[in-house]
Structure 1
């Protein structure tokens, strides 16, 4: 966690009801569009846009209602840690086993106050992309992860 005494956060975010609030330091390492079945279910949408940060650059300011669900049997075979607000149900954070081991947390971009940095450079699980959906970005695409 950064020394927040003098350092101003670069961004912040919250769940819909603001029971969960967090600060973000630095720019995202990467932002990705994910079309996997798990992200579709977790987000309640056709895809999810997540931004990756080093764990030490994410500071939870308020989180009494933050709950984490450990999901096994994902399409990639990895265990997924998904954190959400118990009060409003907002998706907030997620980590695959690989990201967890690397000390990286994935922030649901819709929870970020300033979304101008949430520009995807990667699109994964494209084989699960809805046939009616056409995304335009200049990043890399992968059929799986």
Structure 2
């Protein structure tokens, strides 16, 4: 059944989380030094480009992680990347996806900072509560905020305060 994920796609006792694209061709295994669901982690991006790639009105749910904490498996070579040169930040964003089923994978790793990756949380059976939202001026008026106003940012450059703890492998540090 499509709505029931295999038990192997849940967390283990050592904070290892496995997710996959819709067809199962691409899997990501996250090995984290913390429980992904014990506190808010990840964020929602409301920029037009993330919304288009996720096809979600509420924006793309993603998490930034050190690339070293991610193991990507693509035995059938289905991973494709579109280099988005029209991002609001002015940076090229390598948007990876499964070429077979179209599921967004994220930016694994990012071009601007190879030691950092952005993973699409839709690959996992469960999503953590987000820490913040960015590009909130582009959020649809009928979409309710998921975080307090102090953690709603207009631009991605405003989230720099989270980078140190993310790169240190500590999550978003909340």
Closer, same or farther in 2 for the Cα pair 1:40/1:61, shift >3 Å? same
Tell me the secondary structure at the aligned position of residue 93 of structure 1.
strand
The corresponding residue for 2:20 is: 14
Closer, same or farther in 2 for the Cα pair 1:9/1:30, shift >3 Å? closer
Tell me the secondary structure at the aligned position of residue 29 of structure 2.
strand
Contact conserved, 2:130 with 2:146, CA < 8 A, in 1?
no
Q: 125, 132, 155: which one pairs with 1:144?
A: 155
Contact conserved, 1:33 with 1:124, CA < 8 A, in 2?
yes
**Alpha-carbon distance, 1:58 to partner:** 0.6
TM-score normalised by L of structure 2: 0.70
Unmatched runs of 5 consecutive residues or more in structure 1: 1-7
Q: How does 1:19-38 map to 2 (within 5 A)?
A: 19-26=25-32, 27=34, 30-38=41-49
Inter-partner Cα distance in structure 2 for 1:9 and 1:132: 35
Tell me which protein shows more helix as a share of its residues.
Answer: 2
Residues 75-100 of structure 1: per-residue CA shift (max 9 Å, x gap): 111110100000000001126544xx
Contact conserved, 1:78 with 1:96, CA < 8 A, in 2?
no
Unmatched runs of 5 consecutive residues or more in structure 2: 1-13, 157-174
Q: 44, 53, 64: which one pairs with 1:52?
A: 64
The corresponding residue for 2:94 is: 81
Residue 130, structure 1, aligned to residue 140, structure 2: yes
Tell me the secondary structure at the aligned position of residue 16 of structure 1.
coil
The corresponding residue for 2:129 is: 119
The corresponding residue for 1:4 is: none
> Structure 1: which 4+ aligned runs deviate by more than 6 Å?
none
Figure out how many residues of one structure are paired with residues of the other and give that number: 134
